[in-house]
Amino acid sequence: MTRRHLLQLASSALALLVGAGAAAQNATTWPSKNIRLVVPYAAGGPADLVARELALTLTADLKQSVTVENMGGSMGVPALGAVARAEPDGHTLLMAAVGNVVLQPMLSKHGGADLVAKLRPVSIISTAPHVLVVSAKLPIKSVADLVAYAKAHPGEISFASAGTGGTSHLGMEMFKSLSKTDVIHVPYKGSSGSVNDLISGQVSALFSSLPSLQGLIDKGYVRLLAATAPSQSPATKHLPLMSATLPEFEYATWYAMYAPLATPPALVERINQALTRALKNTALTSKVEAAGTELRTGSADEVLQWTQRDAAKWRRVIQDAKITLE
């Protein structure tokens, strides 16, 4: 081996040592400044509630300000891009949903998969089932009633959603497939129009989060039939399950924390530990779980496992229903 090769090897080894030392130092000193928590949804929704309560808990624990930045639209692409391009120092994080990191890459032609590949999972944050509601104007009081009614009136039951390719749309496609019924998808741009038409009876049913529908349920404008998955949240753990009537029907919306891909593993672990402490905070749990969201903790590897599991599930639904987006 030549002297030049020896010098190159020595230089590479030194660079690795310096890099490892810098990564260790970053992990030890984190956080050293304000943490920016990017949420790919508008302010005021269930995701925003969890993010803001989590940010307050982290701020108190870390003695460093954690601020939420809402960046909605385009199935989360702008938010994913902002975090993917950020410095990998643990001070810019993304709280993304299954729709952003699983559905969007399968449906979008605008860099979704490329952006997800530039993010590093940190921790599971929360999970929540959707609930199925129907217009109170229909003579339907259970999932079995809905299946029977749809079979007796083919093409008359319509499911609203906040847009093609979203979780509520795919839930409807799963229902259609497993119940072997002829039901219609009616996509809306946002949730307000769909809810108004559900109240009036212009559309029949809707899968959505419980907090967004609770007021309408309480007033009797819509009828709650079931939850899409088991939950330990006080608001949803006693609800009937879709799987009681359709045994293979199960899905939940989940959120996980991500950092830029180049974030050092030691720093990812330190962030994960901080999130674990926060997510086990009793005050945080009581505020969030009362609204139907179950806080969860988990490793970066568990985020990958959940991603792979749901990618396989929803890929079948998307392919069978031939769903495409421009």
Task: Tell whether 179 and 282 lie within a shared domain.
Answer: no
pLDDT beyond 90 at 324: no
Number of helices and strands in the chain (H, E): 13, 11
In a domain, 17, yes or no: no
My answer on whether 269 and 288 are in the same domain is yes
% of the chain beyond a pLDDT of 70: 90
> Which of 253, 260, 301, 326 lies closest to 80, judged by CA?
260
Angle at 219 between CA 218 and CA 223, to 5 degrees: 70
CATH of the domain at 93: 3.40.190.150
Q: What is the pTM of this model?
A: 0.88
Residue range of the domain that includes 58 = 22-127+253-321
The arithmetic mean of pLDDT across residues 283-303, rounded, is 92
Pair 148, 222 in one domain: yes
Q: What is the distance between the alpha carbons of residues 119 and 85, in angstroms, rounded to a whole number?
A: 9
What is the average pLDDT score of the chain?
90
Q: Which of 95, 40, 57, 6 is nearest to 285 (CA)?
A: 57
* Residue 10 covered by a domain: no
Confidence tier at 5 by pLDDT (50, 70, 90)? low
In a domain, 182, yes or no: yes
Number of domains in the chain: 2
Q: Which two tokens stand for residue 317?
A: 């639904």
117 shares its domain with 259? yes
Structural domain includes residue 3: no
State which of 226, 244, 262 marks the end of a domain.
244
Return the pLDDT at 309.
95
- Residue-wise pLDDT tens digits, 249-278: 999 999 999 999 999 999 999 999 999 999
Of all residues in the chain, what percent are helix, strand and coil, respectively (each to 5)? 50, 20, 30
pLDDT confidence of 317, banded at 50, 70, 90? very high
**Do 62 and 110 fall within a single domain?**
yes
Query: Considering the domain boundaries, does residue 286 fall inside one?
Result: yes
Are residues 121 and 299 in contact, defined by beta-carbon separation less than 8 angstroms? no
Is position 53 within any domain?
yes
162 and 72 in one domain? no
pLDDT recorded at residue 18: 45
> Looking at 244, 269, 287, which one is the last position of a domain?
244
Q: In the predicted model, what is the mean pLDDT of residues 183-195? A: 86
Query: How does pLDDT run across 37-67, given as a tens digit for each residue?
Result: 999 988 888 889 999 999 999 999 999 999 9
Nearest to 241 by CA among 129, 98, 126: 129
What's the rounded Cα separation, in Å, for the pair 20 and 15? 8
Question: Is residue 6 one of the residues assigned to a domain?
Answer: no
**Of 189, 223, 244, which residue constitutes the final position of a domain?**
244
Token pair listed for 213 = 């529908």
What's the rounded mean pLDDT across residues 81-101?
A: 96
Residue 15 is predicted with a pLDDT of 45
Same domain, 144 and 225: yes
What is the average per-residue pLDDT within 12-35? 66
Is 235 part of a structural domain of the chain? yes
Q: Could you write out the DSSP letters of every residue in 67-134?
A: EEEE--SGGGHHHHHHHHTS-SSSSEEEEEEHIIIIIHHHH-SSSHHHHHTTEEEEEEEEEEE-EEEE
Residues 212 and 270 in one domain: no
Structure tokens at 231: 């939950």
Residue 202: which CATH number? 3.40.190.10
